[in-house]
Every structure is written in C-alpha cells, then in structure tokens.
Structure 1
C-alpha cells in the first residue's frame, strides 16, 4: 500500500490488475485502484475535484480532470475515512498514476491541494 499525508489528509492507494479488455478493437490492460481518504485533521473537509496524470511504458500520457470522484463529492469529518474504487486502461502492462485532490476546509473556508502519491500499475507477471 502506498500512503501520503498532505495537510492532515492521508491518501492510501491499493492497485490490482484486472486482465485484458477490448476497446475500439484494441486490447488494453485494465487496472483497478482503491483510494482511501482519511481526515486526520481537526476540521471538516470536502473533496471538490481531482486531477490525474496517467502514464504507461509506451510513453502515453493521459490527463483526467473532473469534479469529485466516481460522481461524489464526499465530506469528511475529523477522523472519518472515505474509500472508493475506480479503473483505468493502459496500452501496456506497466504504468503509473499520480495527481491531486482539490479540497475545501469548512472552518477556514479555504481550498487546498492534497497530493495523491505516485503509484505503479503492473501486471503481476512483470514483477519477475
């Protein structure tokens, strides 16, 4: 598990290779990732948006920007956790993702970035 804390918000990441997937007559590598967001601070916060940078070993790069995560904009009270699962498709069996969440602190009414640690996406057979 990969973890990182930014301004009292802990991000934990687990990944899984799900197999091959056909998309527009191309064979793609499907990966799932599980993100846990834990509010270790003293104030209530809300996740507003995210930005992802997705890379594969064939030098492809994709930028994903959008509101919330999986159609939700979760609010986290102090010591509360929120976990979600999502997927990505790669052209190769090895890749990586990184990014950040834009959040708001309800007490100070300020927005801030929470870094998502760089994590690897790799088909298990490629570990040997």
Structure 2
C-alpha cells in the first residue's frame, strides 16, 4: 500500500493468443485499486516498466487506464483488465500511477507491485 492506496494484480497466460517457446506470448492482468483514505482521489496517469528474459526492456506511459481516469471515493475500489504481449517466455512488470487528491489537488505516486509473466510450461 502506498499513500493509503492498495494495488493488487492477478496475471493469466492467454494460450489461445500465444505460441509457447516463441516470440508471441500474451498475458492478461487484472488490477484492483482500493482507496483506504478518508478523501477522494483520481488516477491521472500510468507508467509501466516491462522486462523480458530475452533482454528487451520497455516503458509504457499514458493518461489513465484503459481510456479512463477513475475517481475513487473513500473506501471504494476500481477494477480493470488489460494485456501485455511479450516476445519471450518469461518477463515481469511493475510501475506506478500518478494520482491526485481531489480535495487539495496534491499529486502523488503509488507503486504497482512487481508481477511475473511466465509461460506455464516454464514453471516447475
């Protein structure tokens, strides 16, 4: 939890859109953002870091998430899903959201915990 905001991530390998042991593997990630504060916040921007086992690293930055800039009142949760294609059988993601506290217009960052993207055949 960062600044009273909790972020949880669940990852799912998408076999029907992937070719294991190749350069085409797709993962869906489900994000749950919960506001434990006594004030309302809004998610403004996202910043992802994506690392692949083949040495490829990239960053993704943008406004909001999936075309939205959700507002979270005290005690409320926002959930969404998105996907990440990678060109290797293993990778990981982490990142941050830029938020604004709507009562004071204070900007702050919250961390998105690191999570792994692993083709099931690679797991022991």
Instruction: Specify if TM > 0.5.
Output: yes
Quote the offset at 1:21 in angstroms.
3.9
Structure 1 residue runs of 4 or more that deviate by more than 4 Å after TM superposition: none
Quote the offset at 1:46 in angstroms.
0.1
Q: Deviations over 1:48-87 (max 9, x none)?
A: 0000001110010111000000000000000100000000
Q: Which runs of 5+ in 2 are unaligned?
A: none
In structure 2, what is the Cα distance between the partners aligned to 1:29 and 1:54? 14
Could you tell me which residue of structure 1 aligns to residue 33 of structure 2?
A: 37
In the alignment, structure 1 residue 95 sits paired with structure 2 residue 91: yes
Q: Which runs of 5+ in 1 are unaligned?
A: none
Q: Deviations over 1:34-55 (max 9, x none)?
A: 0100001111000000000011
- Count of aligned residue pairs for this structure pair: 121
TM-score (norm 1): 0.90
Q: CA RMSD in A?
A: 1.3
Could you tell me which residue of structure 2 aligns to residue 83 of structure 1?
A: 79
TM-score (norm 2): 0.93
Quote the offset at 1:27 in angstroms.
4.2
Q: Deviations over 1:71-128 (max 9, x none)?
A: 0000000010000000011111110001000000012210000000111111122111
